[in-house]
Amino acid sequence: MAVGARSGHDEPEERPDRFGEASSSGSAGEPPSEAGPTDGDTAEDGGPDEPRKPRSFWKELPLLIGIALLLALLIKTFLVQAFSIPSESMMNTLQRGDRVLVDKLTPWFGSEPERGEVVVFHDPGGWLEGEPTPEPNVVQKFLSFIGLMPSAEEKDLIKRVIAVGGDTVGCKKGGKVVVNGKPLDETAYIHPGSTPCDDEPFGPIKVPEGRIWVMGDNRQNSLDSRYHQELPGSGTIADDQVVGRAVVVAWPVTRWSTLPVPDTFDQPGLSTAAAATAAAEMAGPGALGLAGALPVILWRRKRRTAA
Catalytic residues: 89, 159
Tell me how far the alpha carbon of residue 214 is from its chain's centroid: 20
Burial bucket for residue 184 (CB in 10 Å: 0-12, 13-18, 19+)? buried
Distances (CA, A) of 220 to 8, 140, 173, 229: 127, 33, 13, 17
Q: Quickly list DSSP for 212-239.
A: EEEE-SSGGG---GGGGTTSTTTT-EEG
Q: For residue 258, which phi and psi values (nearest 5 degrees)? A: -90, 170
Of 186, 12, 182, 23, whose CA–CA distance to 93 is shortest?
Answer: 186
Count how many residues are written for the chain: 307
Number of H-type helices and E-type strands within the chain: 3, 12
